[in-house]
Amino acid sequence: LLFLWSITVSIFGIGGLLGSSGSRYLTVKYGKKKCLLCNNLLMIVAASIMGCSKIAQSFEMILIGRFMCGVSAGLCVPLHHQYVGEISPKKLRGFANSTSSFFWSLGKAIGQISGQRELLGSQSLWPMLMASCGFPALVQLVMLPFFPESPPYLLMHKGDLEGCKKAIRQLWGEGQHQAEIDDIMKEKATMKNTKILSVLELVKEPAFRWQLYMIVILTATVQLCGINAV
């Protein structure tokens, strides 16, 4: 029983690893907006499976739902950061990107509070707690169609200059946005002459060795800060 619940808890991270590994390929092929929409559907399906696990008397449904939830979270983190950053005007880009971390932490806090026995952590209400991750996905699924695709994606990967201009006007209003379009064109030209490294090539590249050391140390020590115990 301990082994089964350990797998149920840790399989979220395995799904997250798979989801984040496939995010680059999916965003280039289908665009960030479409990927986010499909990702919301995946999260809603995962929430529904976990929410119905008690009625079906199936712990396997919790296992499958946790895995799907992990895949969805692994896709969502890089997708969300990229999309929010690319649809924001340059002067608000830093602020917009920082909101991701804020709401990530807020979501964890709300989850911890909701999981108390006095709220949704009781014997009768825990399926509702498991299914609650589908609510934010449902909100985004309803609202995201009213937003355009990322302007840099339209111009750099699709070559759709008019679509890019239309998206910029929809996001930032009417006005002169030629400077932003020129920046995207410069980035596109730079990318043509830049080799995209695989994970293995990145690890082997001496020029990035110290940056990798810093990231690994920071990520590892975050796990030791006590947040899990709290």
3-state secondary structure 78-144: HHHHHHHHHHCCHHHHHHHHHHHHHHHHHHHHHHHHHCCCCCCCCCCCHHHHHHCCHHHHHHHHHHH
**Do residues 98 and 212 share a domain?**
no
| Residue 8 and residue 60 in contact, taking contact as beta carbons nearer than 8 Å | no
Q: What is the pLDDT of residue 227?
A: 65
pLDDT digits 0-9 by tens, 86-104: 888 878 888 888 888 888 8
Number of domains in the chain: 2
The whole domain housing 31 covers 1-147
Q: What is the pLDDT of residue 43?
A: 93
d(CA 194, CA 211): 19
With respect to residue 172, please indicate whether it lies within any of the assigned structural domains: no
With respect to residue 28, please indicate whether it lies within any of the assigned structural domains: yes
| Residue 71 and residue 49 in contact, taking contact as beta carbons nearer than 8 Å | no
pLDDT digits 0-9 by tens, 24-37: 888 888 888 888 99
With respect to residue 162, please indicate whether it lies within any of the assigned structural domains: no
| Residue 157 and residue 188 in contact, taking contact as beta carbons nearer than 8 Å | no
Q: What is the pLDDT of residue 229?
A: 64
Q: Is the pTM of this model over 0.75?
A: yes
- pLDDT confidence tier of residue 69, bands split at 50, 70 and 90: very high
**Do residues 122 and 204 share a domain?**
no
d(CA 148, CA 194): 28
Q: What is the pLDDT of residue 142?
A: 93
Mean pLDDT for the stretch of residues 215-228: 80
